[in-house]
Amino acid sequence: MVSATDRPADDVEVLRPTNVVAIAGNKITLPCSSRVDSESRWDFYAVDAIKPASIYSGNRLPSGVELHISVNFSSCRFKSCNLTIEPVQLRDAGCYVCFESSIPIRKAASLIVLGRLK
């Protein structure tokens, strides 16, 4: 018999956001949720980036984050923190990582943006 202490860490795992293919100009939402009450965070790896850029840290967007990226602040403290990008632009393509500050596990989703270069 498996006891509660033998359960894997999946019980507190951050639930993975889903990969998205979007057309430039549209609106997308990347969902993120967790089974624990902890502050959610979002990082972004651009297509050619080596280090991530912090998109959302706790209850605020860092300075320099583009205005077309938004986070629903009211939901980020209660086990979910959805990231919305409107309008999606070609430069938004990359890897978005959602994580909880109290959990060492990070979950990533890729955003592929289709469109034309001008």
DSSP H/E element including 28: strand 28-30
pLDDT digits (tens, 9 = 90+) for 27-73: 998 888 776 666 778 888 988 888 888 887 766 666 666 657 776 65
- Domains of the chain plus CATH, in order, are 11-114 (2.60.40.10)
Rank 36-40, 53-57, 89-93, 106-110 by mean pLDDT and report only the highest.
Answer: 89-93
